[in-house]
Structure 1
């Protein structure tokens, strides 16, 4: 009998690839949209990878409302809760994204437990397992980040509080439903839909020559295709029940990403910056560039992190980060060419 999986937020970058991977494995897939007018666009994006949209259905549901979640969840075997509000929140405050992320997660879990789904896999963030920068500790799944730590922006604060709320909810939930969380780093890779791109905008801006002088920032990178595969592994592996899994591959500095783009893409990467802005210069600019205040705390830091648990328990084997960055850039450039025709 075909099992059914609900993926929340079908227009999202990660959600779209989760849908593709599930359909390839023969699952019946449902996805939620805030507005069903996006259904045709999602179907076309998925079909570009799978060849067809058979087995995919759509439900209207929003993280900010109770409406629609019970109907979307009815008779589902599994849930991949990928949807979450995006943005830095710099203009509205560090808690500006917390309520929709936390309350939306609780709505999803409430509906899932009422429907007695087998397991919910929630997409969190690697930052939720990051200790204080001065601690010297390695980020692993035993660590819980402090949402009041000033290193975190509104998006990461919302992820920390939403994941905490999810685990607290499950402590008192009755029934068979299990929870697993996946904690990705910076997610890059080929694009299905040109919206809700999150981290991909970093590569998009580099290709556009922005910023002209790069800050000394680095990222633990995961390919969106590998991340989607890991979600399916976390959904089906008996060993994943009740566990957190950090999902990252290699660490690259922004300057290394830029160097890779210039070396492999030739003239197509002509605008990619070549110079790095000294840390002291970034700090001098902070009064005039408030969006840099949170990232500035990470300048020059390659904080230690380990994805070993996902590798050893689930067999996670991410591709090289340089491959991911290049595939992402080539996809962005290809889309620019198709638009300009």
Structure 2
């Protein structure tokens, strides 16, 4: 290791978090991984080893987004905070605050500790859910756009907009440097057997277990490119106070088209979806020097990782 500044990664055992930890280690940054339990720490050790890296260069802090306990210790001594963790419900809950409150309050909890610890910058993972779920016909989506929390969307979609807005309000008032990375649908190789929702979709297509597919368009971005955007946003002077949409080049796609790239047939409901959304990645390219992989490579590598892990 090069003895670089210590970086805290929340959600380090997750899909994006695991790739981010490995990229930071590869670039010589010591990492402190914030996880909920020792079992999740073991998952991080396994995903670090899966990347051919030395897990002894990762230290662990135990903290939960729903509690103040542990966060001061997690942030102490770090220069940068990567706030990746966020709740993702399996179903839309009866009480939307079961999703909205943890996302908003968890982000503010981490930001507050980063401010108090004198961290140089926080990079927070948001979502296209915070950008593109309020209707705007014939529009190219950019970082200037926001989903209106008052619109009729799921609690998860509303939570992403509310949490990111709250983070920006706090950072502005606190004088804290913040950048947000705003990915579309994240695909790409998984480092462990605990699969993200998107990778589970690919797995179901490959095993023939997928039911009729929802009729919708979605952007695609590679998990490795999302992690790369976080690392670039961490240190680039131009990234301070900026949002960055991360999406691969090319048009949004459908689940049927995703299945076609995998060489499988999966039924959809056949509805005419109308105009394909256009999502700009120009800002990340311009300010971060970020360049995404082709969608075909991402989809291929997602399938290959599942096969290598014996999951298809």
TM-score by length of 1: 0.85
Query: Secondary structure, in 3 states, of the residue corresponding to 2:293?
Result: coil
DSSP 3-state at the match of 1:66: coil
Residue 203 of structure 1: aligned partner: 202
Q: Structure 1 CA distance, aligned partners of 2:201 and 2:164?
A: 25
Measure, in 1, the Cα distance between the counterparts of 2:214 and 2:162.
Answer: 28
Unaligned runs of 5+ in 1: 263-271, 281-298
Cα deviation, 1:121-168, whole Å, max 9, x if unaligned, reads 000002212163244332111111102222x32222111110000011
Larger mean Cα displacement after TM superposition, 322-331 or 87-96 = 87-96
Q: Residue 161 of structure 1 aligns with which residue?
A: 162
Partner residue of 1:334 out of 291, 294, 308: 308
Aligned to 1:321: 295
- 2:106 is matched with 104
Show the counterpart of 1:266.
none
Name the structure 2 match of 1:57: 59
Counterpart of 2:117 (choices 95, 115, 118) is 115
| Alpha-carbon distance in 2 for matches of 1:313, 1:204 | 35
Does the residue aligned with 2:74 lie in a helix, a strand or coil? helix
Q: Following superposition, which runs of at least 4 residues in structure 1 exceed 4 angstroms of deviation? A: none
What's the CA shift string for 1:170-225, capped at 9, x where partnerless?
Answer: 12114xx3000000000011112222513222212212324344343222111011
> Would the alpha carbon gap of residues 50 and 98 (structure 1) be closer, same or farther in structure 2, given more than 3 Å must change?
same
1:30 touches 1:56 (CA, 8 Å); kept in 2?
yes
What is the aligned-residue RMSD (CA, Å)?
Answer: 1.9
Match of 1:149 in 2: 151
Distance 1:37 1:202 in 2: 25
1:236 is matched with 235
From 276, 279, 286, the equivalent of 2:271 is 279
Q: Does the aligned pair in 1 maintain the 2:217–2:277 contact within 8 Å?
A: no
| 1:125-204 matched pairs, under 5 angstroms | 125-130=127-132, 132-150=134-152, 152-174=153-175, 177-195=176-194, 197-204=196-203
Structure 1 segment 279-318 matched on structure 2, within 5 A: 279=271, 299-318=273-292
| 2:260 counterpart residue number | 259
> TM-score, normalized by length of structure 2?
0.93
Greater Cα shift, 197-206 or 178-187? 197-206
* Secondary structure, aligned partner of 1:47: helix
Tell me the distance in 1 between the aligned counterparts of 2:34 and 2:85: 9
Q: How far apart, in 1, do the equivalents of 2:168 and 2:265 lie? A: 43
The worse-fitting range, judged by mean Cα deviation, of 35-44 and 109-118 is 35-44
**Matching of residue 31 in structure 1 with residue 33 in structure 2:** yes
* Bigger radius of gyration among the two: 1
| Change over 3 Å in CA distance of 1:211–1:301 after alignment to 2 | farther
